[in-house]
A = this chain, B = another copy of it.
Amino acid sequence: MRTLINLQTHRREELVDITADVRAAVRASGAQNGLVALYAQGATAALMIQENWDASVPTDVVECLQRLVPRGVWRHDEQDGNGDAHIKAGLVGPSETIPLIDGQLGLSTWQGIFFCEFDGPRSSRTVICTVIPDP
* Interface residues in chain A, defined as those with a beta carbon under 8 Å from any beta carbon in chain B: 1-2, 33-35, 37, 39, 41-43, 48-51, 53-54, 56-57, 59-61, 64, 68-69, 74-76, 78-79, 83, 86-87, 89-99, 101, 106-108, 110-111, 126, 128, 130, 132-135
Number of copies: 3
Evaluate contact between A87 and B101: CB separation under 8 angstroms: no
Chain B residues with CB under 8 A of A101: 2, 128
Contact A94 B134 (CB under 8 A): no
- The CA of A86 and the CA of B112, in the complex, are separated in Å by 12
A65 shortest CB reach to chain B, Å = 8
Contacts of A111 in B (CB 8 A): 41-43, 94
